[in-house]
Structure 1
Amino acid sequence: MDIGMIGLGKMGMGMAQRLQRDGHRVVGFARSAGTRARAQEQGIEPADSIEVLVHVLQPPRALWMMVPAGDVVDQTLAILSPLLSRGDTIIDGGNSNYKDTLRRGKSLSETEIDYIDCGTSGGVWGLDQGYSLMIGGDEKATNRLRPLFATLAPAPDKGWGRVGPMGAGHFTKMIHNGIEYGLMQAYGEGFALMRHKKAFALDLHQIAQIWRDGSVVRSWLLDLTATALAKDPQLAGIAPYVADSGEGRWTVNEAIDLDVAAPVITLALLQRLRSRDPDSFSDKLLAAMRQQFGGHDIRHE
């Protein structure tokens, strides 16, 4: 099956390689000539424009977008959609907000172009281990592209599925990422507690390795934690700054809109925000208040 890949970042390139390796013809577009050259070295046919990409694919076409969420998706669709015909399919495999997906899909449906949202998880490991795919969209269109999804997933019958109508894929991926925030925060806090128990001189890498087998807290995140601690037990040189892609915020907003309590995910998000403030005014003010009401000492910089 032919597939056009728009966006050849680390994840898009890995997906294109996995498809190509399984015998699919992959034509890829990226803005950077250097990226297109690297794709060609991997057996991916490069296209130097979206127009060329669409032209060389046989209809009905399947175009997979792996571009950053937000305006870039709308800009890409503005170029892409007028070039397509009835029966063609666009797959948004990025981390778009599901509300934007619903808006975009409604607009495309008027031209009878199928729009599939595919929440994609797996990161840089997906090339070898496969990607978890949460798919939303028309059932007939999804079934037509089954060979693509089965190739990208960990196994043809595992790790992927149509979870609902258009928007459901990105909604599910949003919640997935919110859960990820909570799991990561719990691991971080637990290992921090063990590190601060100086009297036991705990070997955190050893403990992570023990927990990887048989423990109820074993997981892929724990596997990755063990790998990180093996490389650098003290995590020297890593700044305590944790970024976020935005999906944790969307998850918390959705919890508020739906009147669903999500304290763990919410606090995990707030901890990430807290990590970015090396000169916390709120903490300074807390110290100042303690000094005002109780005469407590202030530690000066």
Structure 2
Amino acid sequence: MKLGMIGLGRMGANMAQRLVSGGHEVVGFDPRPEARKDLEGRGAESADSLARLVAKLPAPRTLWLMVPSGEITDATLASLRPLLAPGDTVIDGGNSNYRDTQRRAQTFDAEKIHYIDCGTSGGVWGLTGGYSLMIGGGEAPVERLRSIFETLAPAKDQGWGRVGPVGSGHFTKMIHNGIEYGLMQAYAEGFSILQHKSEFGLDLHQVAEIWRYGSVVRSWLLDLTAAALEKNPAMTGIAPFVSDSGEGRWTVAEAIELNVSAPVITLSLLERLRSRDADSFADKLLAAMRNQFGGHAIKST
């Protein structure tokens, strides 16, 4: 099968390479010439515009988007839609908000163009280990593209599936990322407690390696934590600033709307926000309050 890939960042390019290795033909577009050249080095074709990309694909055409969520996705789809025809399929493999996905799907459905949302997990390791694919869309178009999903997944019968109608793939990926926030926070807090117990002189990398085998807390995230601790045990040169790409916020908002208690995910998001306040006014005010009511000392800067 031949398909188009739009967005050749590291993940998009890796996905294209895995598809090529699995016997698919891929034509990729990215506005950056260096990204297109990199794709060609991975065994795929490239096109220097969306129009040329679409022209290189046989009907019915399949185009996979790997671009950032929000305005960039909307702009790309607006440029792409006039180039397509009934029976074509668009797959959004980025981290779009599922409500945006449902809105976009209605526009394409009106023109009889299939719209599929594919929550994609695997990061930089997906090239060799495969990607976890949470797919939303009609049964028929998803089944028609089965060979693509089987090639990208860790195995033909593992790590992928149609989870429901349009929007459900991105919704499932959103909750997946919310869970990820909580798991990462728990590991970070646990290892911080170990690190602060200075009297034992614990080797955090050693502890991580022990936990990786047989422990109930073993996981791929722990594997990655162990690798990070081996490379940089003291986290030297790393600023205590943790970004978020939006999925955690969406998860918390959804939990509130559904009246579902999600304290761990919510607090893990708040901790990320807290990490960005290097000069915390709130903490200064807390110190001032303690001084006011109890005469507690205030540390000067």
Q: TM-score range by the shorter chain?
A: over 0.9
Q: Which runs of 4+ in 1 moved over 6 A?
A: none
Aligned to 1:207: 207
**Structure 1 counterpart of 2:198, one-letter code:** K
Deviation sequence 1:32-66 (CA, Å, 0-9, x none) = 01111111111110100000000010001100000
Aligned length: 301
CA drift at 1:199: 1.0
Between the aligned partners of 1:41 and 1:254, the Cα distance in structure 2 is: 42
SS of the residue 2:101 aligns to: helix
Instruction: Please state if 1:132 is matched with 2:165.
Output: no
Give the Cα separation in 1 of the matches to 2:190 and 2:37.
Answer: 45
Give the aligned partner of residue 23 of structure 1: 23
Letter in 2 for 1:177: N
Distance 2:164 2:34 in 1: 38
- Residue 117 of structure 2: SS of its match in structure 1? strand
Aligned to 2:81: 81
Q: State yes or no: 1:157 paired with 2:157.
A: yes
Per the normalisation by structure 1, the TM-score is 1.00
Which digits, 9 at most, give the CA deviation of each residue in 1:68-101, with x for residues without a partner? Answer: 0001111011111111111100000000000000
Say yes or no: does 1:71 pair with 2:68: no
What is the aligned partner in structure 2 of residue 299 from structure 1?
A: 299
Residues 252-300 of structure 1, C-alpha deviations (whole Å, 9 max, x = no match):
0000000000000000000000000000000000000111111111000
Q: In structure 2, how many angstroms separate the alpha carbons of the residues matched to 1:123 and 1:230?
A: 20
Q: 1:13, 1:36 → 2: CA distance?
A: 9
Alignment correspondent of 1:57: 57
Give 1:33's aligned amino acid: P
3-state SS in 2 of match to 1:57: coil
CA distance in 2, matches of 1:64, 1:229: 36
Q: Which residue of structure 1 aligns with residue 235 of structure 2? A: 235
Letter in 1 for 2:252: V
Partner SS state of residue 162, structure 1: strand
What is the distance in 2 between the residues matched to 1:57 and 1:210?
51
Shift of 1:168: 0.2
TM-score (norm 2): 1.00
Query: Which ranges of structure 1 fall in alignment gaps of 5 or more residues?
Result: none
Deviation for aligned residue 1:242: 0.3
Q: Percent identity over the alignment?
A: 67
Alpha-carbon displacement from aligned partner over 1:223-247 (angstroms, at most 9, x marks no partner): 0000001111111001110000000
User: Which AA in structure 1 matches 2:205?
Assistant: H
Alignment-derived partner of residue 175 in structure 1: 175
Aligned-residue Cα RMSD (Å) equals: 0.4
Which letter does structure 2 place at the counterpart of 1:274? Answer: R
2:290 maps to 290
String of CA shifts for 1:178-224, please: whole Å, max 9, x gaps: 00000000000000000001111111100100000100000000000
Look up the equivalent residue of 1:296 and give its one-letter code.
H
Shift of 1:23: 1.2
